[in-house]
Amino acid sequence: MAAKLKAMGQDSAGITDKSYKMLGVTCARAAGMTLEEIAQHSRWHTTEMPLRYQHNSMAYKKSLAEKILI
């Protein structure tokens, strides 16, 4: 991955294959895909895997916080 980024003139510091998995899952969720759809597309056997890669945006965290009863 680093070599490909360098070849495109991009800085590869801190970017890994996992970074792209996280980006893909996060964008798919933002587009409305279900965990089941993402798991199937990525050839993962469970919906637990997309959750491991999903980057939780501030909007997502806020939506969870709003569910907490005070």
Counted domains in the chain? 1
Residue 2 within a domain: no
What is the DSSP secondary structure assignment for residue 13, as one 8-state letter? T
Residue 12 within a domain: no
Please state, in angstroms and rounded to a whole number, the distance separating the CA atoms of residues 34 and 20. Answer: 19
Residue 57 within a domain: yes
Q: Stretch 42-68: mean pLDDT, rounded?
A: 84
Q: What is the pTM of this model?
A: 0.64
Range of the domain at 22: 18-70
Residue 6 within a domain: no
The predicted-structure confidence for 9-18, as pLDDT tens digits, reads as follows 888 888 888 8
Q: Stretch 55-63: mean pLDDT, rounded?
A: 76
Q: What is the mean pLDDT of the chain?
A: 85
Residue 13 within a domain: no
